[in-house]
Amino acid sequence: MALDLIAPSILSANFAKLGEEVDNVLAAGADIVHFDVMDNHYVPNLTIGPLICEALRKHGVTAPIDVHLMVKPVDRIIPDFAAAGATYITFHPEASEHIDRTLQLIHGEGCKAGLVFNPATPLSYLDYVLDKIDMILLMSVNPGFGGQSFIPSALDKLREVREIIDDSGLDIRLEVDGGVKTDNIAAIKAAGADTFVSGSGIFGQPRDGDPHRYDSVIRRMREAMAAVGR
Ligand code: DX5
Ligand code: ZN
């Protein structure tokens, strides 16, 4: 079983101090930076693009950057994110006309590739491309906004995907995104996830500006996960 990774979603960070926020959350023990890209077309919200990804790299962020594309079409923007320093690039299969081509494009640009499943998106999109995937991201909210509640049926879907990955013997990360907090992260890990996105659950801590603001929430997440015997 792969090492558990905590991936704070910077969507809920203070954008006026983004570099500092990312430094603080990584210093608190987070592993990877979850980077939510929304286009006001595939999802009804507009966020950040390659310029901000590049700015984080220039600021000195060396941790993996996990770019979650909620955009349609997908392909045009992929080389820009690769050049901007993305580590993972994940996309929603409904947003690509040619899923296999998009996966090849991401790998061709030197990044790791993943597919993202909305709560109602069938897992059949994994058929025929499982060996071309480095990460499967299950949404536990409908994409577009931070701060929504975890949809419980995501736990059953996680168990299904965990079985698919284990049966395949492939090295694929299983990430969950939406409504992940200290009080449900253990159940989410027990269901099979190994990569945990949390936005409001981490950045929503009080004491804005305090460099140690994220220490205790990350510690509590690790403690909750350590109690799971999987
Ligand atoms: C939703 C985004 C998530 C979101 C998670 O479309 O993909 O990454 O920011 O935020 P929380 O943890 O607040 O649900
Ligand atoms: Zn996301």
Is 199's C-beta closer than 6 angstroms to any atom of ligand 1? yes
Is 66 in contact with 89 (CB distance < 8 Å)? Answer: no
Contact 186, 150 (CB under 8 A): no
**Nearest ligand atom owner, CA of 151:** 1
Query: Would you state the structure tokens that stand for residue 87, as one six-digit string?
Result: 């580590």
Q: Is position 98 annotated in a ligand binding site?
A: no
The per-residue pLDDT for 171 is 98
pLDDT (tens digit per residue) in 21-48: 999 999 999 999 999 999 999 999 999 9
**Are the C-beta atoms of 103 and 112 separated by less than 8 Å?**
no
pLDDT tens-place string over residues 64-87: 999 999 999 999 999 999 999 999
**pTM here?**
0.98
Q: Is the pLDDT of residue 230 over 90?
A: no
Q: Domain 5-226 belongs to what architecture?
A: Alpha-Beta Barrel (3.20)
* Helix axes of 50-59 and 18-27: crossing angle, nearest 10 degrees: 60
With H, G, I as helix, E, B as strand and everything else as coil, classify residue 8.
Answer: strand
Return the beta strands (E) in 118-230 as ranges.
Answer: 135-139, 173-177, 195-198
Categorize the per-residue pLDDT at 1 as very low, low, confident or very high, splitting at 50, 70 and 90.
Answer: low
Cα–Cα dist 34/51, whole Å? 15
Pocket residue to mutate for ligand 1, from 6, 11, 37, 184, most atoms within 8 A of Cβ: 11
Q: Which residue's CA is the closest to the ligand 1 atom numbered 4?
A: 146
Per-residue model confidence as pLDDT tens digits over 109-141: 999 999 999 999 999 999 999 999 999 999 999
SS3 at position 82: helix
Domain ranges of the chain: 5-226
What is the chain's Cα-based Rg?
16
